[in-house]
Amino acid sequence: MNDKKVGLSDTMRAKTEPKTFKRNPIPGTKFTIAISSAKGGVGKSTFATNLALALKKVGCKVGILDADIYGPSLPKLFSINEKPDSDGQTLKPILKYEIQCMSIGFLTDEQTPMIWRGPMVTSAIKTFTQKVGWKDLDFIIVDMPPGTGDTQLTFAQEINVDGVVIVSTPQEIALQDVKRGIRMFEKLKVNIIGLIDNMSHFIGDDGEKYAIFGEGGVERTANEFKKEFLGKIPIHSDVGKFGDEGVPIVEKNPEHDISKIYINFANKIKNKFN
Ligand SMILES: Nc1ncnc2c1ncn2[C@@H]1O[C@H](COP(=O)(O)OP(=O)(O)O)[C@@H](O)[C@H]1O
Ligand SMILES: [Mg+2]
């Protein structure tokens, strides 16, 4: 079926065009950076948490807003089991590894699926951005859900997002979605900071480099759209292992080769906002 005929792009236009946006900054924060990927499972949450910790290492005050309402990862990746306090007006972020954290997963239990319609998602995002007591943050890192849906629209239209980093793996099937994501952010006039090639390759015990998902696809896509290519993160089993333990690699072992890559990204990104 032809997308154009069924008018999918028209629906998008109807949602995005008639309004002139009055974008609000998130109170208590200087800069908002969204981490996006059009596809799930490409390592976006892993990137978001390690980038936040790397920004802390380079001297910034950082918060993480887990905006993946249907699949929150922050409770697991940061091993947070407590519920946030509230004074009836605002929710207090949970402080872990010196990072201010908020996730829908703090308010629900792990087993319960979120069965929410679009407007509920939109109102949850508004609560998380306007009714959380974020304090003195240089950066808030927003871990976005995959896709081009209500969360992305709400952020782009209502919140002053200073930039988005797009994470992808190098397979064609992921890149196709990345292109869709880039076009969406361009339409919504959200600044794209750059693209990351995650799980770019694997170094075997033999020291050989294996480009399991093909080589250079993310960089080519960045060039095609005249966006900055920020760099590669190889596959390393420690990334997954430490993530599963609830202590991301940058926190667990800042001297690790992979941690150094995240810290390098943090410096790059920080310097763009100075
Ligand atoms: N560079 C990497 N090397 C090894 N495993 C990785 C890497 N990046 C992410 N992963 C793993 O890939 C899986 C999906 O990552 P996740 O961050 O949850 O993706 P997303 O948020 O995009 O759905 C996790 O098991 C994570 O540990
Ligand atoms: Mg995720």
Taking all residues of the chain, what is their mean pLDDT, rounded to a whole number? 88
The CB of 144 under 6 Å from ligand 1? The reply is: no
Check whether 246 has a pLDDT greater than 50: yes
- pLDDT at residue 4, rounded to an integer: 45
> Which backbone phi and psi does 74 adopt, to 5 degrees?
-60, -40
Check whether 6 has a pLDDT greater than 60: no
Tens-place pLDDT, residues 173-182: 888 889 999 9
How many angstroms separate the Cα of 55 from the Cα of each of 104, 128, 143, 178?
A: 23, 21, 15, 25
Check whether 34 has a pLDDT greater than 70: yes
Tens-place pLDDT, residues 117-159: 777 788 888 888 899 999 999 999 999 988 777 888 888 888 8
**How many whole angstroms separate alpha carbon 81 and alpha carbon 255?**
28
* Angle, CA of 120, 73 and 232, to the nearest 5°: 120
Q: Average pLDDT, stretch 164-177?
A: 91
Tens-place pLDDT, residues 97-119: 999 999 999 988 766 666 667 77
Half-sphere exposure (CA, 13 Å, Cβ side) for 54?
25
pTM: 0.90
Least confident of 37-51, 65-79, 119-133, 247-261: 119-133
Q: Average pLDDT, stretch 79-96?
A: 92
CA of 19 to the centre of ligand 2 (A): 30
Residue nearest ligand 1's atom 2 by CA = 235
Contact 245, 224 (CB under 8 A): no
How many angstroms separate the Cα of 159 from the Cα of each of 15, 206, 270?
A: 16, 48, 20
In 3D, which of 246, 180, 169 has the Cα closest to residue 211? Answer: 169
**How buried is 57 (Cβ within 10 angstroms: 0-12 exposed, 13-18 middle, 19+ buried)?**
middle
Contact 230, 272 (CB under 8 A): no
In 3D, which of 147, 144, 233, 238 has the Cα closest to residue 197? Answer: 233
Ligand 1 pocket test, candidate residues 230, 239, 245, most atoms within 8 A of CB: 239
Q: Which ligand is nearest to the Cα of residue 41, counting in written order?
A: 1
According to DSSP, the residues that pair with 142 across neighbouring strands are 34, 65
